[in-house]
Amino acid sequence: MKTLFISDIHLNQNNPNVVNLFLNFLKYQASTANSLYILGDLFDIWIGDDHIDEMSLKISKTLKNLAIQGTSCYFIRGNRDFLIGKKYTKLANIILLPNETVINLNGKSTLLLHGDTLCTHDRKYQNFRKTINQNWIKNFFLKLPVHLRIKISNFIKKTSIISNKNKTSKIMDVNQKYVLNLMQKTKTCIMIHGHTHIPMIHCLPKSHYRIVLGTWNNTGCVLEAKKNLTLIKFSKHLKSTTLYTLKNFKN
């Protein structure tokens, strides 16, 4: 059996192509896996478990059916859907994991996280992240009327897009030193994350590896773990292209 890793699907009811691509992936690809790990930003915006629209409800039903059929589904919150709570994860029958979760993947100690915390060069973002993740701010936001939460979320999203256009690639990417220190601290030799949207298998010192998952748009991106670790891009017709492979991964 295989284990699959995805992130940054950014599901949005205004982008039905990505929604259909994801639903097809769950039906035809994820259903053949032992486990599926979603490493954040499953949804483009999440304003609270009390606002579950038709699209997110359909996603929850499909994920629940997938779990019933035997594929264990795990989820780590991203920076776009960090407000997903127990109500929705229970509805979708997915297991909520903390950021920086360590798993045993084919005998390899592997660190899973969304990836935004690795971008420590972007101090402005890290300060913003620290602020909005305070419990009192999240609780205050969730008590606001739905229409106001939508308006605030859209404003933050637009502001973020404009701000990122003026940032260098170095600021937007991960801090390599921070990555190595974190892997040493967690005693892991593999790191898998998303957020930066640039799929790649990075070779690090001492046979360590950092694997970046790609974002979804006209194509999807998945990391498949079997004997090898394979980063794959696929279309709506599920035609796949291998991007990178880490061979002889299994002990």
Q: What is the pLDDT of residues 55-93, one digit of tens each?
A: 999 999 999 999 999 999 999 999 999 999 999 999 999
Q: Residue 249: what pLDDT?
A: 66
Q: Residue 101: what pLDDT?
A: 98
Q: Residue 251: what pLDDT?
A: 42
Structural domains of the chain, with CATH:
3-121+169-246 (3.60.21.10)
Question: How far is it, in rounded angstroms, from Cα 45 to Cα 26?
Answer: 21
In the predicted model, residues of the chain with pLDDT beneath 50 are: 251
* Contact (CB, 8 A) for 246 and 201: yes
* Contact (CB, 8 A) for 129 and 40: no
Q: Residue 171: what pLDDT?
A: 86
pTM of the model: 0.95
How many other CB atoms are found less than 10 A from the CB of residue 159?
Answer: 11
Q: Residue 237: what pLDDT?
A: 77
Q: Residue 176: what pLDDT?
A: 95
